[in-house]
Structure 1
Amino acid sequence: MKMHRDILVIEDDEDDRDILREIFRDLGYKNKIVFFSDSTEALDYIRRPEIEPFIIISDINMPKLGGFELRNIILNEEILLDKDIPYIFISNAQDEHSLKQANKLSIQGYIHKGNDYNKYKEKIKNLVDYWKVNINSFSSKKQ
């Protein structure tokens, strides 16, 4: 089942990756969590035909290839779009421009990281639990 596939986390900041590792460890999901510090490496990974992740959780502001650019590539490559991978942004940015830009990219969620570990963990839990229940009815082509 797709809900048991890998969760991809694309985050260039080491401290933020460590926090997310701890959150996923605390939540105890059986999914393998695959971390990428470089979004270009994540893109190469998801382009592999055998890779069909459960969900992508991506930071926005990253060197080389930002989250907005990565999402745009996924939307414009049919082989990637056909994988129907829910795409969620995580960011400290809450400005109107970032939110509008994210929404233009047909994302399935936007989580503000914030400074409260427990609130952040609850947001991640709610996100993953939602998709575990609804993944079978999701199709990016319907959007």
Structure 2
Amino acid sequence: MKKHRDILVIEDDEDDREILQEIFRDLGYKNHIIFFSDSTEALEYLRKPEIDPFIVISDINMPKLGGFELRNLILKEEIFMDKDIPYIFISNAQDDRSVKAANKLSAQGYIHKGSDYNNYKEKIKDLIDYWVENIGSFKSRRA
């Protein structure tokens, strides 16, 4: 089932990747977590026809190709049209402009990282549990 497929995390900050690794380890999901520090490498990986992850979790502010730009490319490429991959943004930004930009790109979620580990862990748990429960019940929105 799709809910046991890989979780892709696109995060350029090493400390943030380590925190997410710890969160996923603590939560004990069976999914393999694949981390990308470079969004362009993540895009190339996602373009492979055989790649169909459970979910993509992407930071917004990254060098080379930011999270919003990455999502925009994914929405425009035909190879992604039938993959139905939930796309979630994570960011330290908590402003209305960022949330609105994420919504315009048909993101299925936006999580503020914050500084409280347990709160962040609970947000990630709620996110994954939601998609485990509902995968297949919804189709991704397309622009």
Q: Normalized against structure 1, the TM-score is what? A: 0.97
**Structure 2, unaligned runs of 5 or more:** none
Query: 2 CA distance for matches of 1:37 and 1:113?
Result: 17
Aligned to 1:35: 35
Query: 1 CA distance for matches of 2:10 and 2:73?
Result: 15
Aligned to 2:3: 3
- Deviation of 1:132 after TM superposition, in Å, equals 0.2
Aligned to 2:68: 68
Query: 1 CA distance for matches of 2:71 and 2:140?
Result: 12
Query: 2 CA distance for matches of 1:68 and 1:100?
Result: 11
Q: Higher helix fraction: Structure 1 or Structure 2?
A: 1
69 and 142 in structure 1: CA distance in 2 versus 1, 3 angstrom threshold: closer
RMSD of aligned C-alpha atoms? 1.1
- Deviation of 1:97 after TM superposition, in Å, equals 1.1
1:49 and 2:49 equivalent?
Answer: yes
- 1:2/1:135 contact within 8 Å kept: yes
Q: Secondary structure at the match of 1:110?
A: strand
Paired residues for 1:108-119 under 5 Å: 108-119=108-119
Q: Tell me the matched-pair count.
A: 143
- Deviation of 1:141 after TM superposition, in Å, equals 5.0
Query: 2 CA distance for matches of 1:58 and 1:115?
Result: 18
**Which stretch of structure 1 is more off in the superposition, 13-22 or 78-87?**
78-87
Query: 2 CA distance for matches of 1:57 and 1:141?
Result: 16
- Deviation of 1:81 after TM superposition, in Å, equals 2.5
* CA shift digits 1:41-77 (9 cap, x unpaired): 0000010011000000000000000000010011101
- 2:106/2:142 contact within 8 Å kept: no
139 and 36 in structure 1: CA distance in 2 versus 1, 3 angstrom threshold: same
- 2:54/2:86 contact within 8 Å kept: yes
Q: Normalized against structure 2, the TM-score is what? A: 0.97
Aligned to 1:22: 22
Query: 2 CA distance for matches of 1:91 and 1:114?
Result: 8
**Structure 1, unaligned runs of 5 or more:** none
